[in-house]
Copies of this chain bind each other. A is one copy, B any other.
Amino acid sequence: MTLRQLRCLCEVIDARFNLSLAARALHLSQPGVSRYLKMLESELGVPLFVKAKNRFTRLTPAGQAIADVARRTLRELETIPAVARDHREGDAGSLVIATNPGHARYSLPAVMERFIKRHPRVRVRIRQGDSSQVSEWVQGGEAELFISTGPTEPNPELALFPCQAIHPVVLAPARHPLTLKRRVTLHDLCACPIITYDTEFAFHRNIMRTFHGARLRPDILLSASDAEIMKIYARAGLGIAIVAHSAYDKTLDRGLRAIDASHLFNSTVLHVGLRRNVYLTRHLIAFLQLFAPHLKLEDVRRAIAG
């Protein structure tokens, strides 16, 4: 039994049982593919394919069972070059993180500082995009992981790990009436012009759902994609900003007060997303341990493999 035979088996299945197609994909001639399949079948002593007339039509149960093992095995083999590369690069190497601008700006810097201090030779790249973009980058291998909230629908190619809850806070200028309240209500918020994220943000949809659920129509004065912008307008007294709590820094944002709103709105969960069936480089593991220390490596591996 050779790897070529197994690759052949899998490729023929992927080519919907067209040997010519599979041959092209494998950089082989059609007779070559035919031979390999025949060899494999005769070596295993069991037919793998059902042939109608002179065409391959589908797998036998044996073929299905064996193709499953073959696929798993080939996938695993493909990680070997990745392992080698990881070690070849020593403490260098690269790490591409895909994340939303907000998290790149607020959640990541503290972690990145520590990571870079510990792994100075790793070239880190932070790609910014919306939830669906970052997810596509990871699926396509353009990024090792993404850090994103957003309603990432279940995807068999990706493994998601919840990391932290992002809850909304209300930002208002220092002596704004709301800052005097012990506990603000949705009605209180609706009394003021509101500044928040653009409609395409999950955060926006999240808070709007809550308002509408309470049959309220908030006055969205301004929406933006960048919390810094919102803070400027809020500081100027044009309205109150509803932003992710991570966007507020007590010392940096002196002119603003943060008012807890976690009792009003649902929190969203920040997820780390990895592509399944990939080799976890040492740098990726190191980064995960810094960014999401609660994740157990073994659990991550299991989720990646399953």
Q: Which of A's residues lie within 8 Å of B, judged by CB?
A: 1-3, 44-46, 60-62, 65-66, 69-70, 72-73, 76-77, 79-81, 83-88
Contacts and interface: CB of A to CB of B under 8 A. Distances in A.
A97 B20 CA distance: 47
Closest CB pairs A-B (n = 9): A62-B87, A44-B84, A46-B88, A73-B76, A46-B84, A65-B83, A45-B88, A46-B87, A66-B83
Number of copies: 2
Contacts of A66: 80, 83-84
User: Would you call the interface of chain A mostly helix, strand, loop, or mixed?
Assistant: helix
Contact of A76 (B3, B46, B69, B83): B69
A69 B85 CA distance: 14
A1 B80 contact: yes
A46 B82 CA distance: 11
A46 B87 CA distance: 7
A65 B81 contact: no
Given A73-B76, A76-B69, A45 B84 contact: yes
A23 to B, nearest CB: 21
Contact of A81 (B44, B60, B86): B44
A60 to B, nearest CB: 8
A72 B62 contact: no
23 contacts: A2-B2, A3-B3, A44-B80, A44-B84, A44-B88, A45-B84, A45-B88, A46-B84, A46-B87, A46-B88, A62-B84, A62-B87, A65-B83, A66-B80, A66-B83, A66-B84, A69-B76, A69-B77, A69-B80, A70-B80, A73-B73, A73-B76, A76-B76
